[in-house]
Structure 1
Amino acid sequence: MRTLAEWLSYQERTHPRDIELGLDRVSAVWEAMGAPRPAPIVVTVGGTNGKGSTVAFLEGMLRAAGYRVGCYTSPHLLRYNERIRLDGEDASDDALVASFERIEAARGSIPQTYFEFGTLAAFDLMARASLDVAVIEVGLGGRLDAVNIVDPDVAVITTIDLDHQDWLGGDRDSIGREKAGIARASRPAIIGERQPPVGLLDALRGIGADMQASGDAFSASRVDGEAGWRWSHRDGTVLDLPRPRLDAPVQIDNAATAIAAIHALGSRVDVPPMAIRQALEVVRVPGRLQKIAESPLTLVDVGHNPQAARALAEWLEATPRRGQVRAVYGALADKDVGGVIEALVDRIDHWYLAGLERDTPRGLPAGALAATLAAVGPTAAGRSFENVASAWKAARADAGEEDIVLLFGSFFVAAAALSHRT
């Protein structure tokens, strides 16, 4: 019998491509397994950024109300098991291995990618766990992503920005059309972005989805003189809420989107305001402005595209500090490194550029990052390092107690930081 590590290695070898969008292969295997629905209620969450946080808010709010919730997210940071949570617990090695064995028996000669194996395992394990609600994160795009074999009761599209252009298209309209594919006719489609691209809206209209957009169907607003915020819906529902424990201004938008998804389920769930407040006060997501040290203040963030970088810049601008910002930055070759640096170059005082080519074939060497930094910010201070560990060591050595050390740019950067924090 293979171990979990052996199964994952096998999956990486069994299909010639890391990514191959399309539903035919995974649908055929799912049907051979009996097409188990993950739970009576399914919420699918897509978008460019904010997916993981929105999933976490949904999970926290629903579980605080007493529901059994399953979540499927990707990628993982430290352990593959993180991708599948069943009623608050990561899937065990034994459960994953048993599921992979069932998938292997069902697939016959039908090839499956690494992600397709994981998606089928998530649906299989959720269906066996007697859940009330399944919250499913899209891996890439939406229309042709493996998770789209299941019809969601509510589709959530958090934000749309440029990422994965080789697969999804070179502009926000094209990307929006792909991500709209998770919606279904006459079912709610929650849009978390206040200014969504026309391509997304047109595609959702073409599907016949019940569009409910931020700023129209629901809104999040600051309350004058109060530390919290207010969520309101066009049907007259109003909730006064505490700020999320998850830091960064954008997390209020993610929380508001999660509340809108729950609201759209209507009488199918009963999530009282107290459960929503409780979740806001406790939900944390690893690698989302995660504080790992106090002096100097050290944070880890998985942000890896220009939209995420703008959110980081907004957080840095709003954060009082007396020292300097020192950033350990690593990136993958298919990311818009120039756009990320442009968004942050005025907010970061020193760049520690970490090569990722030893972590993944897609990783950029530090020299490529340095060339882009020089082109975008000719006066920016930057040094190159062969990996995250050496870049972080140098940043810590240089940092004063009042400085901020930010490690960001990729899940690989976050994983290295969380694996080696002291």
Structure 2
Amino acid sequence: MLNGDGDAVAALFDSRPVTAIRWGLDRIEALLAELGRPERRFDALHIAGTNGKGSTACFAASMLEDGGTRTGLYTSPHLEDVRERFLIDGTRVEESALQVAAARVIGCEAAEACTYFEAATALAFTCFAECGVEVAVVETGLGGRLDATNVLRPAATAITPISLDHTEWLGESTEAIAREKGGIFKPGAPACLGRIDPLPLAALERVARGVEAPVARLGREAEVSDVEVRTGETCFRYVSASRPDGLRLATGLPGRHQADNAALALLLLDRSGYPPDEGSARRGIARARVAGRFEVRPPGGGRPGCVFDIAHNPAAMAALCETLTELALARPLIAVVGMLADKDWKGTLARLALDSDTMILTRPAAPAERRWDPSRAQEWLSRERGSESIVCRDVAEAVSRGLTLAGAGTLLVTGSAYTVGEARALPELAGVRTGD
């Protein structure tokens, strides 16, 4: 049923807790069957992993778009508006098309039992089918094997680096997590693997063999070398079996890890049957932008330079800190950090404490069951790491304090998508936005 404003998108999501997780594909399968199997009306590229899957998906979509393929991109989470999740040819799905598709989903009997993410997935696939998408690049939400997106029959799949995250759902070891994420592999569909540690890599290769999915991976079938991280771009050389002469590529997303993400996206396209020509590879990678991934706003109007990054686990924070070091941004570096209670906040904060001058800990407006206690984190940092920090009651107060302390230095906002989303929307941080 539509809400009083006739907003079908709001009606679809307002009654569903964003954090609700219920394993199993029965509900999404029933809903998609009622909708006429929209996910079978386009080809798909399916991407899973712990860190980097959103950036990898964005790179792949950008190259496809440049080559003239009508491309859908489905990613999560969003930062400010659920509509960020649904893109066609690099822009948000037209509001009228989104409303029509949402009304169709709401009208299905099977929709009532679906979770937030299942409803979003059905909405994405319905929009893509009805808007004539040829190829959809789809990022998993949580895991892979039982993720709602795993109803796809992809042309190829990719797995980005794996680390410990969501252990209560995916397993207590990287091997167990790899097995869950490898559940997206399908018979005969190439499985492309990023730079993955040996134990989860072995687990993924076993899963691939079990379903007879041919494997290609960075470090074997494709190589990244000569990486240079500069302000505003990351340059690298890509060589693969299908591109033996190599390509010199550049992306506007800073960080060595982004060179790997872009390379994995190119390997995925080459193995999927949608290989971009050299020009589309260059232009697509160069113009790809992802909000909240080392998103930089230069100083201006008396405000210091700002960096937004949703790093929310130790591996992501390590990549962020490595990039901060390479770019040698103006000091002091003041970090506004708002994490979630179910994340490894100790490991994440311990890494950031080494690279920031001051940490301001705060609580984002996340669902109640996921809210952490920044005062407890402050006590832990002081006791276990000898690191002093400041606690502020909310993101707005933390950003205001951070801007004052940063002076002519740099303000970093990090720790979760909730924190970054709130901060980006604040008037005092207004500016040209990346990836919107």
Question: TM-score of the superposition, structure 1-length normalised?
Answer: 0.92
**C-alpha deviation, 1:54, in angstroms:** 0.8
Give CA-to-partner distance per residue, 1:181-207, whole Å, 9 cap, x none.
011112101111243513222222222
Which residue number in structure 2 is paired with residue 271 of structure 1?
Answer: 276
Q: Say if 1:14 and 1:58 are closer, same or farther in 2 by CA, change over 3 A.
A: closer
Give CA-to-partner distance per residue, 1:53-76, whole Å, 9 cap, x none.
111111111111111100111111
Q: 1:343 aligns with which of 337, 351, 355?
A: 351
Which residue number in structure 1 is paired with residue 113 of structure 2?
Answer: 111
User: 1:30 and 2:27 equivalent?
Assistant: no
Long gaps (5+) in structure 2 = 431-436
Which residue number in structure 1 is paired with residue 381 of structure 2?
Answer: 373
SS of equivalent residue, structure 2 residue 80: coil
**C-alpha deviation, 1:21, in angstroms:** 1.8
Which residue number in structure 1 is paired with residue 205 of structure 2?
Answer: 201
Which residue number in structure 2 is paired with residue 396 of structure 1?
Answer: 403
Contact kept? 1:194, 1:215, Cα under 8 Å: no
Q: 1:408 aligns with which of 411, 414, 423?
A: 414
Aligned residues with identical type, % of pairs: 31
Q: What does residue range 16-55 of structure 1 map to in structure 2 within 5 Å? A: 18-37=20-39, 39-55=41-57
Structure 1 range deviating more: 367-376 or 42-51: 367-376
Which residue number in structure 1 is paired with residue 286 of structure 2?
Answer: 281
Which residue number in structure 2 is paired with residue 213 of structure 1?
Answer: 217
In 2, distance between residues paired with 1:15 and 1:352? 28
Contact kept? 1:338, 1:376, Cα under 8 Å: no
**C-alpha deviation, 1:96, in angstroms:** 2.7
**C-alpha deviation, 1:364, in angstroms:** 1.4
Which residue number in structure 2 is paired with residue 229 of structure 1?
Answer: 236
Q: How many residues align?
A: 416
Q: Say if 1:334 and 1:199 are closer, same or farther in 2 by CA, change over 3 A.
A: same
Q: 2:314 aligns with which of 283, 289, 306?
A: 306
Q: Say if 1:15 and 1:363 are closer, same or farther in 2 by CA, change over 3 A.
A: closer
In 1, distance between residues paired with 2:92 and 2:70? 14
Give CA-to-partner distance per residue, 1:300-319, whole Å, 9 cap, x none.
00111111001012112212
Which residue number in structure 2 is paired with residue 243 of structure 1?
Answer: 250
Give CA-to-partner distance per residue, 1:344-383, whole Å, 9 cap, x none.
2211111000112x442112132132133224422x1200
Which residue number in structure 1 is paired with residue 391 of structure 2?
Answer: 384
Structure 1 range deviating more: 227-236 or 241-250: 227-236
Give CA-to-partner distance per residue, 1:233-269, whole Å, 9 cap, x none.
1345333223211111110000000000111023xx3
Contact kept? 1:38, 1:124, Cα under 8 Å: no
Which residue number in structure 2 is paired with residue 185 of structure 1?
Answer: 187
Contact kept? 1:12, 1:113, Cα under 8 Å: no
**C-alpha deviation, 1:87, in angstroms:** 2.3
Give CA-to-partner distance per residue, 1:119-168, whole Å, 9 cap, x none.
00111110111122110110000000000011111111111111111110
Aligned amino acid, residue 158 of structure 1: T
Question: TM-score of the superposition, structure 2-length normalised?
Answer: 0.90
Contact kept? 2:55, 2:261, Cα under 8 Å: yes
In 2, distance between residues paired with 1:171 and 1:111? 31
Q: Give the RMSD, CA atoms, in angstroms.
A: 2.2
Contact kept? 1:328, 1:353, Cα under 8 Å: yes
Long gaps (5+) in structure 1 = none
In 1, distance between residues paired with 2:396 and 2:19? 30
